[in-house]
Structure formats: C-alpha cells, structure tokens
C-alpha cells in the first residue's frame, strides 16, 4: 500500500536532494569518539550532524527511486521502499530542535541547526566537540529521544535489500509477460540486468551501507555515553581500533562451515586453513569484515562440496592467506572448487544473475531475516554487496579464476583509514 505524502513534504525532499552529501572517513568516526570522551555535548554534536546529513542522503535516494530506468520505479516493492525513505526523511526533519527541549543556547553556539542552503555551504562538521554538558538534563533527554528516532528508522529499513530485490523480480516478471527482449536472448538464454539498473543498485546499496553506518555509530556512541561499560575495550562505537583479523576470520569460517553442514547435510565439510599474518591488528568495523569473509568462504565451501560431492572422503582444503602491506591488508581465499568459465567472469558482479527462490525473498522482505544472515546459495547479491562493503572504506574485491581448478578471491582492506565514504 502506497503512503500518501503531502506535496509540501515532497517539495522538501526535492529541495534537500540538491544539497551535497558529506562523506565521513573511518578515522573521523574514531577521532570524534576517542579524542574526547562521549559527553552529552559531544553526543549532541554528532547527533546534530546526523540530523542534517541523513535527510540529505535519504532525499537523494527518494528522488532516484522516483526516476529509475525501464519502469522499475513503478514496481510495487520499489514504491514501498521509496515510501520508507520518504517517511524517514519526514521523521528527521520534523524532529524537534534541542532548543525545544530547553537546552541552553550556549550548548548550541558552535553549531547552527539551520537547514538553509547557505548554512550547508559553510560546512557542517562531523567532528566539533564542545563543553561536556553533564549538568543539562534537557540535553540528555534530547539525545535519548533522537537516538530512539534513528533506531526506529533503522528498523523500518531492515528489509530494504530483499524488498528491492523483490522489486527487480517484479520487473522481470513484467518483462516476461511482455516478451521483452531485455529478459532473454534470441536463443532463449537469460540476460543480466541492464547496465542502468546494475549501476542504480550499486549506488543505492552503497548509500544504504553509509546510512546504516551513521546510525549504528551514533546509537553506539550514545549508549557508551550513558553507560561507559557498554562499550568493549578498543571500541569507539561500532568501530574496533584493534580488530584481530585472525579472530574475525575464524568466526566467519565457523559460521560458513555451519551453514554448509546444515545445507548439504555433511559432517565437518572442507577444512579452512589460515596462513600468513593472521595475528595482525587494525582499525575496522568487525561486522563488515565478518560479513565479507563469511560470503567469500561460503562461496568457496559451496564450490568445493558441489564439485567433489557430499560423499567425498576428504575435500581439498580452502586456504586463507593474509598479507600485511603498508597501505593495505590483503586476504586471499583460495579454493579448488572448479573455477568459473571465462565467459561467466563478467557476470559475477551482476545482481540477480543467480535465480532467487521466491519464498526466501518474501521472508526477507517481511523482515524475518537479518542483513548478515545468508543462505548457502542466495539470489545473486553476495559478491556485488561484498565488493561494496570493501569499497566503502577504501578497499576492493577481485576474483581470479581457473576453470577446471578453482578460484582465488583477493579482499583488499585499506590500513590508512582516511578514505572518505564514496557517496553516490
């Protein structure tokens, strides 16, 4: 069901979509929380940035969702997602300013809350701490209510990935009814999605990663301000300044092997061997790292089991090699799963190339699964999304395959932590 929004609100969306987005680097996130204890005023500064930045990012996406190629904007699931983004935009711009809570003006002097173009052109900084504000109960109340607002927004958007995927399936079904040449070749072979839609999905999901990063970091910083014990050692929000790569890789491997065992009904599954600088520590978001490694290891496990069969006495092991450079940490995951034909390599980064099972999509669209829970064989989103997570903080993902032998995946992660978000 499409939500009816006022024309005045939609005009605000169009206006805010003209504002430039403000990228934030991993280092800026950490400096904000680590160089100054998360006092109420420090939290206020971050919240004010988010209160301004999130509507801009949401407005960019709403306008794009209204103008998608090949009729994708008309699909019911896409309209539903657009309504979520519009509703979240309204929640943020209608949220009361700190002054309405009785917060003293002196706490707000260093940062204007004006949303006009001139204020934005002057620059709104994410990192701009002030006095601690521990004696301002009104400030604590505003911070708490704002965090509740963005937590609600985050929950609203939980099923966005499968819902957009459902929208693409609806478009393909529409093409099928019309016998569209966009769906199959003359010989009947399925075609990948048009480049314009592929590019949209890259932009949209990259923006989603950034939005959820901003919300997750803001919520975690607020929680650590209220209860300092809630933040584990070496964490600033959801960022760990000393991620133990070996520990995250081992957890991802165990999770992937569990999925493999459940899916194929095998005991144990292929072994995963770790080599190289697995004891390295670096600054990163552990959940992002786990997600990327899990997806890559899951793909390797599936390839090996399907090549050698579930009754194999001893599968060839999967090797995870970690190399520590000055600029990058590189993780190579090598398997002997038979590789990918050279003709198929250009397709590995395309969305929806793997046929999805409708029940899975419907379950996820209804919010019954999480972002980081994945089946053994999904709907063609694993590799494209993993590459976006890698690129979000300045890394990358590359695959080299030998048909008839196996595949090497190279996950590059930036050690410099100063790459700004590549906002679309």
Helix (H, G, I), strand (E, B) or coil at 116: coil
Distance CA 282, CA 416 (A): 9
The reply to whether 295 belongs to the active site is yes
Q: Which of 222, 288, 291, 332 is catalytic?
A: 291
Whether 111 and 45 have beta carbons less than 8 Å apart is answered as: yes
Report residue 151: phi and psi, to 5°. Answer: -65, -40
Q: Which of 53, 64, 90, 295 is catalytic?
A: 295
Contacts of 368 (CB under 8 A, 6+ apart): none
Whether 370 and 168 have beta carbons less than 8 Å apart is answered as: no
Whether 126 and 46 have beta carbons less than 8 Å apart is answered as: yes
Whether 66 and 43 have beta carbons less than 8 Å apart is answered as: no
Lookup result for tokens 């949303």: 115
Distance CA 401, CA 347 (A): 13
Distance CA 215, CA 199 (A): 25
3-state helix/strand/coil string of 197-263: HHHHHHHHHHHHHHHHHHHHHHHHHHHHHHCHHHCCCCEECCEEEEEEHHHHHHHHHHHHHHHHHHH
For residue 38 the two structure tokens come to 């998360």
For residue 12 the two structure tokens come to 């605000």
The reply to whether 291 belongs to the active site is yes
DSSP code of residue 421: P
Nearest CA among 115, 105, 123 for reference residue 44? 105
Report residue 227: phi and psi, to 5°. Answer: -135, 95
Q: Which of 52, 60, 298, 332 is catalytic?
A: 298
Distance CA 65, CA 38 (A): 36
- Burial grade of 167 (CB within 10 A; 0-12, 13-18, 19 or more): buried
Q: Which of 47, 143, 231, 299 is catalytic?
A: 299
CA distances from 381 to 124, 299, 347, 351, 411 (A): 35, 12, 12, 5, 17
Q: Which residues are catalytic?
A: 291, 295, 298-299
């Amino acid at each position: 069901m499409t939500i009816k929004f006022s024309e005045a609100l939609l005009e605000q969306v169009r206006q805010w979509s003209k504002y430039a987005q403000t990228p934030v680097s991993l280092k800026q996130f950490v400096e904000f929380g680590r160089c100054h204890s998360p006092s109420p005023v420090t939290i206020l500064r971050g919240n004010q940035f988010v209160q301004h930045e999130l509507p801009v990012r949401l407005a960019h996406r709403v306008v794009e969702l209204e103008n998608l190629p090949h009729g994708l904007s008309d699909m019911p699931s896409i309209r539903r997602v657009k309504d979520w983004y519009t509703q979240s935009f309204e929640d943020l711009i209608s949220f009361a300013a700190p002054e309405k809570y009785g917060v003293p003006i002196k706490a707000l002097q260093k940062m204007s809350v004006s949303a006009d173009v001139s204020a934005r052109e002057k620059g709104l900084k994410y990192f701009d701490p002030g006095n601690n504000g521990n004696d301002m109960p009104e400030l604590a109340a505003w911070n708490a209510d704002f965090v509740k607002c963005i937590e609600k927004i985050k929950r609203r958007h939980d099923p966005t990935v499968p819902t957009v995927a459902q929208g693409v399936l609806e478009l393909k079904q529409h093409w099928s009814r019309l016998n569209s040449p966009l769906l199959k070749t003359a010989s009947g072979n399925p075609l990948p999605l048009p480049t314009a839609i592929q590019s949209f999905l890259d932009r949209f999901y990259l923006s989603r990663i950034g939005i959820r990063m901003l919300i997750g970091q803001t919520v975690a910083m607020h929680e650590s301000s209220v209860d300092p014990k809630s933040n584990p050692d070496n964490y600033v929000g959801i960022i760990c300044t000393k991620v133990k790569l070996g520990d995250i890789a081992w957890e991802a491997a165990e999770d992937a092997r569990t999925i493999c065992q459940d899916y194929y009904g095998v005991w144990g599954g292929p072994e995963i061997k770790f080599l190289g600088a697995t004891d390295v520590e670096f600054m990163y978001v552990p959940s992002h790292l786990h997600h990327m490694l899990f997806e890559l290891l899951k793909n390797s496990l599936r390839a090996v089991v399907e090549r050698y069969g579930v009754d194999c006495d001893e599968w060839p092991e999967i090797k995870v090699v970690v190399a520590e450079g000055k600029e990058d940490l590189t993780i190579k995951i090598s398997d002997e799963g038979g590789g990918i034909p050279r003709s198929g390599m250009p397709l590995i980064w395309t969305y929806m190339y793997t046929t999805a099972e409708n029940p899975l999509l419907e379950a996820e669209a209804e919010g019954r699964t999480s972002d980081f829970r994945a089946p053994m064989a999904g709907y063609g989103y694993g590799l494209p999304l993993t590459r976006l997570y890698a690129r979000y903080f300045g890394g990358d993902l590359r695959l080299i395959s030998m048909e008839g032998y196996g595949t090497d995946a190279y996950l590059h992660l930036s050690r410099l932590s100063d790459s700004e978000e590549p906002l679309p």
